[in-house]
């Protein structure tokens, strides 16, 4: 089962991708997580990506595509995978399709988690990320047991630089200009499924399971 999560930044793609990965036992591949890990480790890729991420811009396609194509060719992806945050542009989607076509494969589902901009702005201000393991929480909707401390690894939680209000609006603009056209792209490919992302996260997941099957 090969799945793409579509949706604005903060729509809940990561939250749902983790649940999908656990239920269907497939890898969760988040390009944002891969870039943040590279930044933390001080790699060349991380240094390049950071300059774009800090401004709320997309990292150039050529820095993203090979990374994902290499990742989905690894053995643990044989049964499928859930892509979170990729593709984010039409050229990325075309490159992914071309790479899969060479292997005689194609994506099965593109799930669009639909959330209006105003709800996104409220959500992003409350998102907290762990500096250690990258786990994501929300001050109101997904609180931790001990304030400011990650439930999973005990490290500190922070507001991501790119979740600060001035950058969120920029990221939403970038989403509408560069990523939203993928909704049309995957509608034409016949694999788009749109779900309401404004409801409780467990109900969002139920809607996804209805689509993917038990």
* 80 contact, one of ligand ADP, ligand AMP, none, CB 5-8 Å limit per kind: none
Annotated catalytic residue 171: yes
Nearest distance in Å: CB 160, ligand ADP? 9
Give CA–CA dist 191/187, Å, rounded. Answer: 6
- Position 64 contacts ligand AMP (CB under 6 A): yes
Tally of CB atoms within 10 A around 118:
8
Q: What are the C-alpha distances in Å from 187 to residues 40, 45, 96, 182?
A: 37, 33, 16, 8
**Residues forming a β-bridge with 149:** 156
* 134 contact, one of ligand AMP, ligand ADP, none, CB 5-8 Å limit per kind: none
The binder of ligand ADP chosen from 2, 4, 6, 12 (CB under 6 A): 12
Annotated catalytic residue 160: yes
Q: What are the C-alpha distances in Å from 49 to residues 57, 133, 167?
A: 10, 19, 16
Q: Which of 13, 36, 123, 128 is catalytic?
A: 13
* 138 contact, one of ligand ADP, ligand AMP, none, CB 5-8 Å limit per kind: ligand ADP
């Amino acid at each position: 089962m090969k799945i793409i999560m579509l949706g604005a930044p903060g729509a809940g793609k990561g939250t749902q991708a983790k649940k999908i990965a656990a239920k269907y036992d497939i890898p969760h591949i988040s390009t944002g997580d891969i870039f943040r890990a590279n930044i933390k480790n001080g790699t060349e890729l991380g240094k390049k990506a950071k300059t774009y991420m800090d401004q709320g811009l997309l990292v150039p396609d050529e820095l993203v595509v090979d990374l994902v194509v290499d990742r989905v060719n690894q053995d643990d992806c044989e049964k499928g995978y859930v892509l979170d945050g990729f593709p984010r542009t039409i050229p990325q989607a075309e490159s992914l399709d071309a790479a899969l076509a060479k292997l005689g494969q194609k994506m099965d589902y593109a799930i669009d988690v639909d959330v209006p901009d105003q709800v996104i702005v409220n959500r992003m201000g409350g998102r907290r990320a762990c500096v250690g393991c990258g786990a994501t929480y929300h001050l109101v909707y997904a609180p931790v047991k001990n304030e400011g401390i990650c439930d999973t690894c005990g490290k500190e939680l922070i507001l991501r630089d790119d979740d600060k209000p001035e950058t969120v609006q920029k990221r939403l603009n970038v989403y509408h200009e560069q990523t939203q056209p993928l909704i049309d792209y995957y509608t034409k490919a016949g694999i788009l499924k749109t779900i309401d992302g404004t409801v409780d996260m467990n109900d969002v997941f139920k809607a996804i399971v209805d689509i993917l099957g038990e």
